[in-house]
């Protein structure tokens, strides 16, 4: 099967939009969010969530006002010039879903019995601040404004992503050091043993770190694969090492779930191009070797650490992990040796379909095993896999309990609550009737989330709110897959979105990492718009 010209040499956009002040402001904002935002702390971890919440709110308000003014004056100039193509483009499905997501959240907020949490997330003047995840209507409103500004004004600049890679690598390195009880900046001074074991880097809780690494790793890999800039690819290659070791030392179930989904998904995307698949094999080699480098680091310092979960321990310490390293190295060497022959006959379509089928079979097999050991055979001893494959109240650090009682409470909702939920960020009050059992069985006095982002949206923003959220993410992903045929750059943005969504099945939204989800959603949709409405960029 002969490879087409596009498959040999992936397409790039030929026309570059005019780079105006509003475009610069978007990139300055991204540079700020990719650098200072994840590092910003005022008092170690004590106020990490509130610190970043207020940072995001202030930075985004300034960004929206300044860029909005530039857009207004630009609109006037374009109108005078009669350039209607630059002004009038239809709303995409993602745009409509984003507006619906905000609109349903407004209705939910107007209906709620808990306006403080629903409107602002935290209220620093009341004790109710501890009952929220800071994901109130204000934050959703800013996500929406940010989305529409970025999607209309983004122009890619490499320096922004070099900043992201360098900052994220530092956070990953700090995560690794903290995991081995090395605290160079004294961020853990004064905390009890449980807090020290649960927190790290400048982000806080290990679940938050895991979610961040599920954004960082796909960006690093896809920049390494797709970028034609040697500097970007070198920085990205080094960043893969930090991203993977940071992900392993986050030591959360969510990051493993994200990893198991995104690695085959990226393989499917990269199979479209011989060059990309070759680079992806090299990226995988770096990734798996970095796991063994972490093993070497552990041995070097005496292996005193917080303790790895089963999957993380296997990926680092198991000798079986030398097999994928050897396989990737061998395949890469064979490709290099026979490069011209393979490239001339590269079966892009066949490989893409093959990888897709294998991934689908893997998902079906995993779901079948989960269903079988959870609901059919509950007696067979499956060892450490019990934590993954046997669902009960204790599954996933008692996430099974949280999910069960969440659906029980949802079944008690009134019709309007079923549609619009109990108000943004009010899961604490929905789950409150079960705090006694939560404390007696699991030792937790309370919780403010269902530990599943989708269930949380169902409870707090109802069926319509969840549907709108799935509509935004789903439509952007589908359009990005189509856009990638014309402009593969979109894969850099959509892969972290997919990885985030995978890990969010057992994780939760927060003002530390969730802003990055909406940033990369916006960047992906910006590329989708450029592909769909190319005339809008010709000034």
Please give the DSSP secondary-structure letter assigned to residue 483.
H
Alpha-carbon gap, residue 235 to 395, rounded angstroms: 39
Give mean pLDDT, residues 86-91. Answer: 67
Distance, CA of 441 to CA of 436 (rounded, Å): 9
Say if residue 60's pLDDT is above 70.
yes
Mean predicted confidence (pLDDT) in 502-508: 93
Q: Which of 410, 510, 413, 530 is nearest to 89 (CA)?
A: 530
**Helix, strand, or coil (residue 234):** helix
Please provide the average confidence, as pLDDT, over all residues in the chain: 88
**Confidence at residue 277, expressed as pLDDT on a 0 to 100 scale:** 94
Q: Which two tokens stand for residue 70?
A: 């530039």
If pLDDT is split at 50, 70 and 90, which confidence band does 131 have?
low
Query: How much is the pLDDT for 531?
Result: 86
Q: 411 or 398, which is more confident?
A: 411
**Is the confidence at residue 164, as pLDDT, over 50?**
yes
Q: How far is CA 501 from CA 292, 453, 521, in A?
A: 28, 9, 11
- Give, in order, the Cα–Cα distances in Å from 297 to each of 301, 315, 316, 519: 6, 14, 11, 34
Residue (of 309, 267, 256, 312) closest to 502 by Cα position: 256
pLDDT of the residue at 43: 81
Between 451 and 519, residue with greater pLDDT: 519
pLDDT tens-digit profile of 435-448? 888 888 887 777 88
176 in Cβ contact with 186 (< 8 Å): no
Task: Report pLDDT for 12.
Answer: 47
- Per-residue pLDDT, averaged over 319-330, amounts to 93
% of the chain residues with pLDDT over 70: 91
SS (HEC) of 35-80: HHHHHCCCCCCCCHHHHHHHHHHHHHHHHHHHHHHHHHHHHHHHHH
**Sign of torsion, CA 17 23 28 33?**
negative
Distance CA 274, CA 347 (A): 9
Residues in CB range of 54: below 8 A, 6 or more apart? none
According to the model, what pLDDT value does residue 108 have? 96
Q: What is the pLDDT of residues 7-20, one digit of tens each?
A: 445 554 444 557 78
Instruction: Grade residue 129 by pLDDT with cuts at 50, 70 and 90.
Output: very low
- The model carries a pTM of 0.92
For the cut 70, the answer to whether the pLDDT of residue 122 exceeds it is no
d(CA 515, CA 325): 34
**Given a cut of 80, is residue 130 above it in pLDDT?**
no
Q: What is the mean pLDDT of residues 500-515?
A: 93
Question: Which residue did the predictor score with more confidence, 198 or 151?
Answer: 151
Triad 301, 302, 307: Cα angle to 5°? 105
The predicted-structure confidence for 182-194, as pLDDT tens digits, reads as follows 999 888 888 888 8
Number of DSSP helices (H) and strands (E) in the chain, helices first: 24, 2
Checking if the pLDDT of 353 tops 60, the result is yes
Reading the block at residue 219, the tokens are 């960006």
Nearest partner of 118 among 146, 97, 141, judged by Cα? 141
Q: What is the mean pLDDT of residues 373-380?
A: 87
| pLDDT on residue 441 | 86
Distance in angstroms (rounded) separating the CA atoms of residues 359 and 263? 10
Question: How would residue 79 be classed by pLDDT, with cut points 50, 70 and 90?
Answer: low
CB 121 within 8 A of CB 53: yes
Residue with the larger pLDDT of the pair 179 and 387: 179
Whether residue 283 contacts residue 221, with contact meaning beta carbons closer than 8 Å, is answered with yes
The stretch 86-100 carries a mean pLDDT of 84
């Amino acid at each position: 099967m002969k490879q087409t010209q596009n498959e040999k040499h992936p397409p790039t956009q030929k026309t570059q939009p005019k780079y105006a002040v509003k475009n610069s402001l978007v990139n300055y904002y991204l540079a700020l969010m990719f650098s200072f935002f994840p590092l910003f702390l005022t008092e170690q971890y004590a106020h990490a969530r509130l610190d970043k919440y207020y940072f995001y709110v202030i930075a985004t308000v300034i960004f929206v006002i300044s860029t909005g003014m530039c857009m207004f004056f630009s609109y006037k100039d374009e109108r005078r010039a009669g350039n209607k193509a630059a002004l009038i483009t239809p709303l995409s499905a993602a745009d409509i879903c984003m507006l619906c997501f905000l609109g349903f959240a407004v209705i939910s907020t107007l209906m709620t019995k808990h306006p403080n949490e629903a409107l602002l997330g935290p209220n620093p003047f009341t004790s109710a601040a501890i009952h929220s995840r800071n994901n109130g209507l204000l934050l959703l409103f800013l996500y929406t404004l940010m989305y529409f500004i970025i999607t209309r004004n983004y122009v890619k600049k490499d320096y922004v992503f070099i900043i992201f890679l360098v900052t994220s690598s530092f956070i990953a390195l700090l995560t690794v050091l903290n995991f081995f009880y090395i605290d160079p900046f004294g961020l853990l001074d004064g905390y009890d043993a449980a807090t020290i074991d649960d927190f790290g880097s400048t982000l806080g809780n290990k679940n938050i770190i895991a979610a961040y690494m599920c954004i960082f790793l796909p960006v690093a890999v896809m920049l390494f694969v797709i970028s034609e800039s040697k500097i970007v690819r070198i920085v990205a290659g080094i960043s893969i090492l930090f991203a993977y070791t940071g992900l392993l030392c986050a030591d959360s179930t969510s990051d493993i779930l994200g990893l198991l989904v995104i690695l085959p998904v990226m393989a499917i995307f990269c199979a479209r191009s011989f060059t990309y698949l070759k680079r992806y094999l090299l990226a995988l080699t770096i990734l798996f070797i970095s796991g063994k480098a972490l093993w070497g680091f552990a041995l070097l310092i005496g292996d005193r650490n917080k303790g790895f979960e089963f999957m993380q321990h296997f990926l680092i310490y198991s000798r079986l992990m030398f097999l994928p390293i050897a396989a990737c190295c061998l395949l890469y060497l064979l490709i290099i040796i026979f490069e011209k022959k393979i490239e001339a006959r590269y079966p892009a379509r066949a490989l893409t379909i093959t990888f897709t089928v294998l991934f689908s079979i893997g998902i079906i097999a995993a779901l079948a095993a989960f269903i079988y050991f959870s609901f059919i055979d509950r007696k067979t001893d499956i060892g450490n896999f019990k934590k993954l494959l046997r669902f009960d109240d204790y599954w996933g650090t008692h996430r099974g309990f949280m999910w069960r009682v969440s659906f029980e409470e949802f079944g008690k909702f009134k019709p309007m609550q079923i549609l619009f939920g109990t108000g943004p960020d009010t899961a604490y009050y929905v789950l409150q009737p079960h705090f006694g059992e939560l404390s007696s069985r699991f030792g937790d006095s309370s919780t403010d989330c269902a530990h599943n982002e989708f269930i949380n949206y169902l409870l707090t923003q109802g069926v319509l709110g969840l549907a709108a959220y799935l509509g935004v993410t789903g439509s952007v992903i589908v359009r990005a897959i189509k856009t990638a045929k014309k402009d593969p750059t979109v894969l850099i943005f959509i892969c972290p979105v997919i990885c985030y969504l995978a890990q969010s099945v057992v994780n939760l939204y927060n003002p530390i990492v969730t802003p990055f989800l909406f940033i990369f959603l916006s960047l992906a949709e910006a590329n989708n718009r450029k592909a769909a409405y190319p005339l809008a960029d010709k000034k």
